[in-house]
Structure 1
């Protein structure tokens, strides 16, 4: 959902997909991503497709989003046709999905169920800022069928949150996690960011300890990226803030892995830790395993059978297209078999389950022994026919990928 989508080709106005893409539908898990593009304020580091009320002005209102997004869900059902599988996962991202009333998120879950059907045990996740929910809202969301909530914690230190332009107070996290548990959410996750300007090793340790004290099922921890065009990038460029260097980021990652592993949270993907396979984010696993998903909402991206497309970004244009009975897709591309192979390697090595060796070309296979010898790949994984990374390998994922894809 970054600010710079690729160029792509013009899609048909009705969103029709090639028969070859539709033929792949039964082979993969099917997820629905719903991008809610509204935020109370804009965080200084964020380059996602999000809007505050002031930025939208008289544009498409959050009050009409559920109705408009439901129209795209119905469009998706028409395009995919009777061969569409039931939905395995639904993920509300943003933006701040929980700025919408719980009844709106419930209506969208119903729209997905009406259009496709939800598989028994489907995972239904929403992201949430701690300030955007209370106990009553979480109870309503759980009653509406949501099973998983991911809270944007980012840091436990007020000065780090201030550097990120985050609005919540650290002390609210224990309350919202407790409310989510009492509401009956099956899984509770927290998101962290490390490497913010002014964050010390002690600050990061405090954030990790605070996250562990919440006893979550799942933790995501991402290195801060200073994206061009953001407020944070402008402050770094002016010298107001210092960007964290790569060696410090590596130290923060090791610190996170040690702390989370000690708390019983194992890394199942480079930036994600969970208490066990039942707590893995199944929706994101679909992305990493090359599954099928339809992205609903302004700027949302989709993938079906090697065809990728992305919606127009502004909520007003998104709404206008759907009201006119047209697809909101801005452009699309058909991914070549060679590029799909590259993506399988790039994403597969990020997973603790590893990349099957059979995915590698002879050139990639020739690099495997060196990766094991240098401590980047696990010898036990290789003996089982998979390339799985050690902690050092996770730190050097790009190096591993280049070795496994020597023809790039």
Structure 2
């Protein structure tokens, strides 16, 4: 049995309606842009995904694994959208795009400035015809500077940002974060910036140019590491499952499985030692502050490790939860999706797609207690082309058939 078969199936609803009435044209591909527009769609925006004829979004080919012929990577980033196939490099296709832009609030694209200008899709080319349009450009390095026209993926952005150098054990080589962090952070920035621009437009009536850089988003994510270096000159090195600032903030082995333990302030430090039956150790004046504990970190870690190795993980986690001490398991992905708390939150569910059930990870943000954002499954390539052209542009069946024959759509 697949994990998918154990998930509750949810039915379409009107979903969240915070951005109801906002129309988004999504010309992005891969992960960062589609993730950003999925967030907007989850919040209620009407997102039309414009894809290449026949090929579609790059992630449609990312696999295996596939589910009923669809890439599971694609399915993770594209719910609540409609798919329109369109060749915007042909004059007729570009004309259709211009007509769609006339009734669009937000355009999101991940082409570099050079390509945007070539296609006439840069902000300066569009602002005269569409003065209220919010133009969101998501690229690897931003729209200015010497790297503006270079290609980029999550891996490259992580390398530039410094996060790979600080991920992993000190004796190992640099490690990529286990999820496409730069993509997802930049996608969140797309959604955040778009909502802010929509709010400003209510006041000014004028559109906005938004420039999101994957590298800049990832570098900002590194601020808690970069600022201490800038202020002290002390280089930070990889510390694996440990933290270089908080004295006790790392992975420990128990009698069976490892746990994470974070003694992040003085009160938690004392509670920990009281809970394990050694209150005098926690009350020692020589270990009263994080600075003093950092000095003695090696001996403290050795003491805690010796203690935790005497009992199994579940014993310690139960004790720490009871005493409000931050600790937890190190879950595998298969354990994450079986977590009872996350399941009770409705974070994992399935929906009915065109060919069967499709797994999803929910939005996880509640508005007035509600988090059900699902309106429709990730679309099959071009599934909504005819309907969008007919309903939004008033095209006839004959006209649409001609466009399809000439491979414009």
> Aligning the two structures, in what range does the TM-score lie when normalised by the shorter sequence?
under 0.3
Q: Comparing both chains, which one has the higher relative contact order based on Cα–Cα distances under 8 Å and sequence gaps of 6 or more?
A: 2
Q: TM-score normalized by structure 2? A: 0.25
Q: TM-score normalized by structure 1? A: 0.25
